[in-house]
Structure 1
């Protein structure tokens, strides 16, 4: 999660322009939540590409990528609670924390409720990459492949505070002053110990895993932060065995916006490789 470079004003403008390119959305009541989702692509096509957005982003952040791949593959994207057209995050004291495990289970339930069957090619950006990692660990039999874009490592925030304290202070200031409630809830629960312990104990899927990382950093992301980011990138094969890394030229943190062509290219390669294999059957 590289929230330092979020560029609040330009992100809002980009999101508005992307919305018009998204396929029509639908809403569904799932428990106490109203969730907005989009399905596109050929009916019955498998595997299904499932997108998960980063902190503060709705599904429209994937508009350019979906526009490129939907003619040839089935896709699914949604707004998490508090984002886009979905309802707000529950505020009741009994509401579960917005940690990666909760979010992964929420997405799993939404896929089932909307009739989107496995196998899935999981795509996640920033903290959405952490959430898709959690999904892959919790539901390995339903995953065909994983594509992560500049993903948040489970230890990212803890190590950032120790190894890049100046950047951590800036993020802490943003959290206190500009993060919306949904962003605060997710940020605060990203490294919830109970969830991370559950993920460590679960076996990862034996599927292709591709990591796309940026080639440039933004203001506030100094040398200490950059060094930490590269070290954490190198640790992903230990979390998802077999993960391979590609540094995307002419790209910042928002690889799906800067280089949608590369993301589409990687998706085509993954879908082609997995579609010929045995389908991951749901229990």
Structure 2
């Protein structure tokens, strides 16, 4: 889930999540396609393949990636969208909001927009979980995976057991702050049928990097911080060979606190993907 404690509490006090995400970086012009009867807004910029495909966290849209996109274009092709229920897309999504469904929706959106693989998948928070699902469902189209302080599949179940105070706060925020779309995504983040489907598929075999925060607020320290650190290590079971980097001076929103680091890691993945593509098989 996106910013489960202090960041969402700050959003509650300010009255808006979107206020946390504003910045001076700008995005390319917004376009839209219709997928499954829903309008999905997106931005796209040209550049060399592979295409960096961004997936935002809970309550966030494409604007959260503006600082990173500004730094990697025009050298790298990029695509970022608002999921239905956010930003410039349809006001309310239709159907389930589990990771497998959202991965398939993104795939259909890319096809409708004419965006061709290979893809470098970039996901923040719960968006990292959605990109994990995409990589498992469409492995032939994925050249790399960059997870930015992502939500682990076991996050909510273990949070309720091991960090109950944090879980109570998250539950309160769900009841008072979350939009209908946010509640649907939050509730389906570890939908058993989807997780079982992903576990039954072959292990991922793509270059992958994990960026994790260095900073926790006072409200997040203790049991919650310990759980987050344990789950960071648990990603290796889902993505064999993933490398982990703790980003200095960054909280949960690494892409806003240190966009240059995210851009650097993304460009390194792109170089590795291009080298692999050029190597005779």
TM-score by length of 1: 0.93
**Structure-2 separation of matches of 1:111 and 1:135:** 12
In 2, Cα distance between the equivalents of 1:213 and 1:190? 20
Q: Distance in 1 between matches of 2:146 and 2:18?
A: 25
- The question of 1:27 aligning with 2:32 is answered yes
Distance 1:183 1:16 in 2: 19
Instruction: List aligned pairs for 1:10-89, cutoff 5 A.
Output: 11-18=17-24, 21-42=26-47, 45-89=48-92
| CA positional deviation for 1:222 | 2.6
1:13 CA displacement: 2.7
Q: CA deviation at 1:97?
A: 1.5
- What's the secondary structure of 1:81's corresponding residue? coil
Instruction: State the alpha-carbon separation in 1 of the partners of residues 205 and 140 from structure 2.
Output: 9
CA separation in 2, counterparts of 1:116 and 1:33? 18
Partner of 1:168: 167
| Aligned residue number for residue 141 of structure 1 | 140
- Deviation string, structure 1 residues 205-249 (Cα, Å, up to 9, x no partner): 311110000001124213100110010000111101111100000
Distance between the aligned counterparts of 1:251 and 1:236, measured in 2? 20
In 2, are the aligned partners of 1:24 and 1:38 still within 8 Å (CA)?
yes
Question: Residues 84-95 of structure 1: matches in 2 within 5 Å?
Answer: 84-90=87-93, 95=94
1:241-256 equivalences under 5 Å are 241-256=240-255
Q: Partners in 2 of 1:65 and 1:129 — Cα distance? A: 16
Q: Residue 234 of structure 1: SS of its match in structure 2?
A: helix
How far apart, in 1, do the equivalents of 2:23 and 2:6 lie? 19
- 1:275 Cα deviation after fit: 1.1
Secondary structure class of the residue paired with 2:120: strand
Per-residue deviation at 1:193?
0.5
- Kindly report the root-mean-square deviation, in angstroms, between the aligned alpha carbons of the 2 structures: 1.4
State the match for 1:123 in structure 2.
122
SS at match of 2:76: coil
- Aligned mates of 1:86, 1:138 — CA distance in 2: 24
Unaligned 5+ runs, structure 1: none
In structure 1, the partner of 2:238 is 239
Q: Distance in 2 between matches of 1:236 and 1:16?
A: 30
Q: Structure 2: which 5+ residue stretches go unaligned?
A: none
- Aligned partner of 2:257 in structure 1 is 258
1:14 to partner: Cα distance: 4.2
The answer to whether the Cα contact below 8 Å between 2:18 and 2:60 also exists between their aligned partners in 1 is no
Cα distance in 2 for residues equivalent to 1:88 and 1:105: 19
- The residue matched to 1:49 in structure 2 has which SS? strand
8 Å contact kept, 1:138–1:199: yes
Aligned length: 272
Distance (whole Å) between structure 2 residues aligned to residue 278 and residue 204 of structure 1: 21
In structure 2, distance between residues paired with 1:215 and 1:225 = 14
